[in-house]
Amino acid sequence: MPATTLTCRRIAMALRPLLLSALLAGCAALPSLEGRIASTVITETKHTQLGEALAPLAAQHPGVSGIYPLADGRDAFAARALLAAAAQRSLDVQYYIWHKDITGTLLFDALRQAAERGVRVRLLLDDNNTSGLDQTLAMLGKQKNIDIRLFNPLVPRSPRALAFMTDFSRVNRRMHNKSFTADNQATIVGGRNVGDEYFGAAGEVLFSDLDVLAIGPVVDDVSQQFDRYWNSASAYPAQLLLTKPVAGDAATIAAEADRIDDTKAAEEYMQALRTSPFVRQMMERTLPFEWAKTRMVSDDPAKVLDKARPGTGVAENLKNLLGVPKKEVDLISPYFVPGKAGTKAFADLAHKGVGVRILTNALEATDVAAVHAGYAKWRKPLLEAGVLLYESRRSWEVGDAREQPGRFGSSASSLHAKTFSVDDQRIFVGSFNFDPRSIELNTEMGLVIDSPALASQLGQAMRSTIPQRAYQVLLAPDGSLYWIARNANGTITRYDTEPGTSVWQRMGVAILSVLPIDWLL
């Protein structure tokens, strides 16, 4: 028998199990939601310790909400841990990513401890990033008072890639929302997922990110938004999807948290938390909140089923709430893919004399090279229109990220904050990236805050701090791009190719940039 025939037969035999699995997966269906019990926010919480501490503050500022930016990762973790410890009636927690690392395990245990105290805990996770968590979630779900739902779940559970092969149009859409709400009295909304890299606990791998802690009337808006997702057609009770844990229950999670507590890395991290001025201020109820009119924006959860009403998305709401810029726009987006329409919109603003400053990741700092390829092709037309483009460096000389955090970010390996301001008057903080995926595919949420103080801080950072800590992209007379880095000693370094990258990285981006994949980014 010819060798080629043998080779083909071996390939066919090797692929047969995979093809069979794919066919069986195609027959797999999502479980029925018949009998699923709806639940809503617990509103009678004014007599909880959070209610008694925060309600008097809100009463002094009727009609507005109190906002405190959480730029430092350790503060962001501490805020969640302290809210979980203080809650007496409810915790509503919604995330896109939750890692089983130091901070992820400790927060799982914080939810478990709250449930043991009698707090109702509702945990809603997008299912795209729960790989490796099935057993942990199944154990946590055995704890009384904890209810877990998976949003837009993957079927089959393993191998998960088969769900994309057989149901791509659905599972390609994800819930990107992020919120952590305690007793309907305080909430945390922003760009952070749950994981060490988001909370400054991952050593060399850090994200520069931004959340806000909010109190006042906007908290109930976030709670109502959570209810919409929790009771939506895409939220499946975890027990319908997960197999029973092989061994262990919620106590196993407590033991894992205890084990992590004893590690050197965790001890160093917790020591940093104990010395944090933010923790002291939060415990002493002396946080300097910025009081401002604050409005929540959120996509309809039906968006992942392609059933949301046109014109109701976050992108459309932001246009209405932020208004037409008259003087300047400052935008920070780690995944910035403006496309033809977005590029024209920014160019039109610049041609009208509006100052447009944009910060995104440099190729050396991004964690998704394909997204950088989707952005890179639009740099020249943006620069030709007069838009100022900055790309976050992987590192810089001034201090350490965990020692010298800025108000809206710090020295980190990758930018992850999603925020923009208009005319130093209004600012958005949330999960929304300026890319086709956020606009068309994923659900997003965030807060629009009418605060000149916060908006001008972002503007000031974009005018002074960011140029010192990012590459500025410029256009040479011959039409080529070059990058400059402002050094601590006052000198400037010029790069004629993407700084900090290899020829293979640049070649890969060049190939990706010509592929018609922008709609996926």
* Residue positions annotated with a catalytic role: 176, 178, 183, 416, 418, 423
What is the phi/psi pair of residue 398, to 5°?
Answer: -85, 105
Side-chain half-sphere exposure of 26, counting CA atoms within 13 A: 8
Token pair of 124 as six digits: 């809603």
E strands, 62-164, in order: 65-70, 90-95, 120-126, 146-151
| Listed residue (417, 431, 416, 415) closest to 177, CA to CA | 431
- Return d(Cα 481, Cα 234) in angstroms, integer: 45
The CA-based dihedral angle spanning residues 363, 366, 371, 377, taken in that order and rounded to the nearest 10 degrees: -20
E strands, 304-413, in order: 328-332, 355-361, 388-392
Query: What proportions of the chain, in percent to the nearest 5, are helix, strand and coil?
Result: 40, 20, 40
Under 8 Å between Cβ of 443 and 304 = yes
- Return d(Cα 431, Cα 444) in angstroms, integer: 6
E strands, 230-380, in order: 235-237, 290-298, 328-332, 355-361
- Tell how strand 414-415 and strand 207-208 pair up: parallel
Side-chain half-sphere exposure of 121, counting CA atoms within 13 A: 27
| Listed residue (415, 394, 408, 418) closest to 483, CA to CA | 394
The owner of tokens 């806000």 is: 212
| Amino acid letter, residue 43 | T
